[in-house]
């Protein structure tokens, strides 16, 4: 009889394209490829009809995917309507009968659900994948201070100085509250060593958290020896294409890239095409939106803004740039754009901090620039254009990313280890 994992996500990629929900869904789709395992997917979705009516969930994409309506507090991550969610979740667990419940995120899901799994069945394993610094940092989990400076370690006093709307004791109580529910977790997964170290500093025991990279479906991957997209035709041989991919928000550094483009010498601007592929600008704060719109209006002719894209478009658009640029001004964890770049064998230019610096090896699979520095980003772009043999050397160093199937194999091995341990503890 197959074992079953219930993968719980704060969103469904059919409605939201963030890295966490995509990683959760990729795992869910790949687990059945592993002998002896099947999977069910539970995703939070803000469906107005469900929030108003008596029902709380609906089936989606067939029998093993479920959407449920839910909201959480943004400071403590507890349920705003526990009287609706908790009875429904208990009944849902009885129906699905999972051996493992694997949460990707607790934001918009509810910390109380971690404990409810154990109350339902102590033998059921609880696993949590940490995608951001949400427990460590109440400033959107970015570890980026409200004054724009990078934050390296949280404390009651530091958090109060950054967010003075709450007294220091609230940050002390928040940490204790979150850690209380984290005691229900049998094991944590971090997609990067950088994130793992931050959570160990925060209080998770080192032996309870493992690094497992997010898996990526490998259909459409580049398997042969690629050449720079710029040499695809003689007409374009003097133009090197740089691509930005992802959400357009204040943390991703699109304004930094546009500033760097304006700093390039005129002669270099004629040799590059800087393409922005991403959406969400219309949902950003007015001040940031105005800043980016002005930068785009004033940008040199080498800059092109293409807007949102779908995953189906990615092979053609990412496969047709030479370099992928990630100018994020925050630490990042394990950006899916980096894995996608490796899938299509495109060297990257990234900031020299956090998960970006960990995942992109300087001078091996890409180049680092001084994070948050437009002048240094412009310098590195100019180097990428002018240095003979650089692209070929970095391209040769790129290895395929972890596939979804291999990722599922690693996860099910971990699940089995946890279940064996729980069984031994119950028998003792």
pLDDT in tens, 9-19: 998 888 887 88
pLDDT in tens, 234-271: 444 569 999 999 989 999 999 999 999 999 999 999 99
Residue span(s) of the chain under CATH 3.40.50.2000 come to 3-215+403-427, 229-396
Least confident of 95-99, 231-235, 375-379: 231-235
CA atoms within 13 Å, Cβ hemisphere of 286: 0
**Residue 57 pLDDT level (bands cut at 50, 70, 90):** confident
Contact (CB, 8 A) for 156 and 176: no
CATH topology of domain 3-215+403-427: Rossmann fold (3.40.50)
Report the candidate in 78, 72, 74 with the shortest Cα–Cα distance to residue 177.
78
Where would I find the beta strands (DSSP E) of 73-206? 100-104, 125-129, 187-190
- Rounded Cα distance between 176 and 174, Å, is 5
pLDDT at 412 over 70: yes
pLDDT at 6 over 90: yes
Least confident of 24-38, 55-69, 205-219, 324-338: 55-69
Q: What is the pLDDT of residue 231?
A: 46
pLDDT at 349 over 90: yes
- Rounded Cα distance between 61 and 253, Å, is 35
Least confident of 110-114, 235-239, 325-329: 235-239
pLDDT in tens, 396-405: 999 999 999 9
Instruction: Tell me the average pLDDT of the chain.
Output: 91
Rounded to two decimals, the pTM is 0.91
Question: CB count, 10 Å around CB of 289?
Answer: 15
Q: What is the pLDDT of residue 225?
A: 44
- Rounded Cα distance between 314 and 386, Å, is 27
CATH topology of domain 229-396: Rossmann fold (3.40.50)
- Rounded Cα distance between 207 and 204, Å, is 8
pLDDT in tens, 154-188: 899 999 999 999 999 999 999 999 999 999 999 99
Q: What's the mean pLDDT in 130-151? A: 92
176 or 153, greater pLDDT? 176
């Amino acid at each position: 009889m197959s074992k079953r994992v219930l993968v719980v996500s704060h969103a469904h990629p059919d409605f939201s394209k963030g890295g966490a929900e995509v990683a959760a869904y990729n795992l869910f789709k790949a687990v059945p490829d592993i002998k002896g395992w099947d999977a069910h997917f539970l995703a939070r979705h803000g469906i107005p009809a469900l929030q108003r009516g008596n029902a709380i969930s609906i089936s989606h994409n067939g029998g093993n995917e479920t959407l449920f309506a839910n909201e959480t507090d943004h400071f403590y991550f507890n349920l705003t309507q526990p009287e609706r969610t908790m009875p429904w979740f208990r009944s849902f667990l009885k129906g699905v009968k999972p051996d493992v419940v694997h949460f990707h995120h607790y934001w918009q899901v509810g910390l109380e659900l971690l404990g409810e799994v154990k109350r339902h069945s102590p033998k059921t394993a609880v696993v949590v994948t940490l995608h951001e610094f949400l427990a460590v940092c109440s400033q959107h989990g970015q570890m980026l201070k409200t004054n724009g400076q990078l934050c390296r370690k949280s404390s009651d006093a530091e958090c109060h100085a950054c967010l003075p709307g709450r007294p220091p004791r609230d940050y002390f109580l928040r940490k204790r509250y979150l850690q209380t529910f984290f005691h229900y977790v049998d094991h944590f997964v971090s997609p990067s060593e950088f994130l793992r170290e931050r959570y160990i500093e925060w209080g998770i025991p080192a032996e309870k958290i493992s690094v497992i990279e997010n898996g990526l479906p490998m259909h459409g991957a580049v398997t042969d020896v690629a050449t720079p997209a710029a040499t695809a035709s003689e007409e374009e041989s003097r133009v090197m294409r740089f691509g930005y991919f992802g959400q357009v928000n204040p943390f991703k550094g699109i304004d930094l890239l546009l500033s760097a483009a304006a700093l390039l010498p005129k002669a270099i601007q004629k040799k590059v095409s800087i393409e922005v592929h991403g959406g969400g600008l219309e949902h950003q704060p007015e001040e940031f939106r105005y800043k980016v719109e002005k930068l785009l209006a004033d940008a040199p002719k080498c800059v092109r803004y293409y807007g949102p894209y779908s995953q189906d478009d990615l092979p053609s658009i990412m496969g047709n740039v030479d370099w992928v640029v990630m100018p994020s001004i925050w630490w990042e964890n394990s950006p899916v754009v980096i894995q996608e770049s490796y899938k299509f064998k495109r060297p990257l230019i990234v900031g020299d901090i956090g998960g970006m610096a960990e995942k992109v090896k300087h001078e091996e699979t890409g180049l680092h620039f001084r994070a948050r520095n437009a002048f240094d980003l412009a310098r590195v772009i100019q180097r990428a254009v002018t240095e003979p043999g650089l692209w070929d050397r970095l391209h040769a160093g790129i290895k395929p990313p972890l596939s979804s199937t291999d990722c599922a194999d690693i996860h099910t091995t971990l699940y089995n280890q946890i279940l064996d341990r729980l069984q031994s503890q119950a028998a003792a």
